[in-house]
Amino acid sequence: MGPCLTQGPVLLDIFDHDKLTAAHPSLPYCSKIKVVNPANGKSVVVTVNDRCRRRDFEIIDLTRRAAQELGFYGKGSARVKNMPLPEE
């Protein structure tokens, strides 16, 4: 994935289900997040490039590719552990 481009509070990235990206209600755009599936130990690093609706519980909305790599694509939802990574 190329650089994450923003213009003020607006993200200039186009959503693509084949990239390792995610939507999150509050993390800053372009944040890198390590997402771990505790059920199988698989992990991926995704870039926040979208927003999702706030809920009463924490949520991260992953692309198809991220869900496939974590091993739960097609299951609707799964419990994951999110770990924000330091900025580069």
pLDDT per residue over 9-60, tens digit each?
555 677 789 999 999 888 888 889 999 999 999 999 999 988 877 777 678 8
Q: For residue 61, how many other CB atoms are within 10 A of its CB?
A: 17
Report the alpha-carbon distance of residue 34 to residue 71 in Å, rounded: 15
Name residue, tokens 């924000």.
84
pLDDT level of residue 1 (50, 70, 90 thresholds): very low
Instruction: Name the residue among 1, 27, 32 with its Cα closest to residue 14.
Output: 1
Place of tokens 């944040």: 31
Asked if the 22-84 domain carries CATH number 3.30.365.10, the reply is no
Quote the CA–CA distance of 53 and 38 in Å, as a whole number: 24
pTM of the predicted model as reported, rounded to 2 decimal places: 0.82
Structural element, H or E, at residue 33: strand 32-36
